[in-house]
A and B are shown apart, each in its own frame.
Chain A
Amino acid sequence: AQKITQTQPGMFVQEKEAVTLDCTYDTSDQSYGLFWYKQPSSGEMIFLIYQGSYDEQNATEGRYSLNFQKARKSANLVISASQLGDSAMYFCAMRATRGGNTGKLIFGQGTTLQVKP
């Protein structure tokens, strides 16, 4: 079965420091995609970064980078130079390919990040 695990329910980070949010996944597919979303208290899910299973380099988007370790099945999100506006819930997700191209995303439980001034 395909599954996403986020083991950190809550994290604190000091403003301007870097933080790593953990994500491990389980799939038997060779081709898959991994996503990170941010959900502020207002509710909307904001796409942050994507990593394809065949991408040779780790994805980066501004202050966000994805530490992709395929053999360990981990896709940790690294946020550099944390800002107060980064305080939110963060979700790791995987696109399931089993059963055809339905676009189904499987989400983890999420990690709440609080940035301290």
Chain B
Amino acid sequence: ETGVTQTPRHLVMGMTNKKSLKCEQHLGHNAMYWYKQSAKKPLELMFVYNFKEQTENNSVPSRFSPECPNSSHLFLHLHTLQPEDSALYLCASSQDPPATPGLRPNIQYFGAGTRLSVL
């Protein structure tokens, strides 16, 4: 148990559906991340939020819409996805910068992911 919970664990959706992925962290961190993991590709950073503000959008298509209502919750709203969007979507959180100077910085703790299939 890493302290980062993602729901649902599995999701099958059609290209015209709208669905949302949820991530919740119980670690008191201030930064949250969405990553995409496709088969045979490295993890790709999608979005970064720090204190609820989006600090990075890694050229993600607008059919992916993130929402961060507070430092503990992160959503990824999905609409009109394509089959190539099928992947494992991982959420992570970290304390950025570290709460105590000198401590190893920015360990990102990940959830178990949502395995998404777009039909």
Contact = CB atoms under 8 A, between A and B. Distances in A.
A104 to B, nearest CB: 6
A33 B104 contact: yes
Interface in B45-73: 45, 48, 50, 55-56
Nearest to B89: A43
A109 interface: yes
Contacts of B42: 4, 91, 106-110
Interface string B30-54: 0101000000111101001010000
A103 B33 contact: yes
Nearest to B105: A33
Interface residues of A, number: 25
Contacts of A93: 43
B2 to A, nearest CB: 6
Interface residues of B, number: 30
Contacts, number: 65
Interface stretch (A14-22, A44-52, A69-77): A44-52
Given A91-B43, A102-B48, A47 B96 contact: no
Contacts of A44: 2, 110-113
Contacts of A50: 104, 107
Contacts of B110: 37, 44-47
A105 interface: yes
A98 interface: no
A111 B88 CA distance: 17
B92 A45 contact: yes
Given A43-B113, A45-B110, A108-B42, A103 B104 contact: no
Interface in A70-116: 91, 93, 95, 101-110
Contact of A103 (B41, B106, B113): B106
18 contacts: A4-B42, A37-B110, A44-B2, A44-B111, A44-B112, A45-B110, A46-B110, A47-B109, A50-B104, A50-B107, A52-B104, A52-B105, A95-B106, A102-B50, A104-B56, A105-B43, A109-B40, A109-B41
Interface of B: 2, 9, 31, 33, 40-43, 45, 48, 50, 55-56, 88, 90, 92, 94, 96-97, 104-113, 115
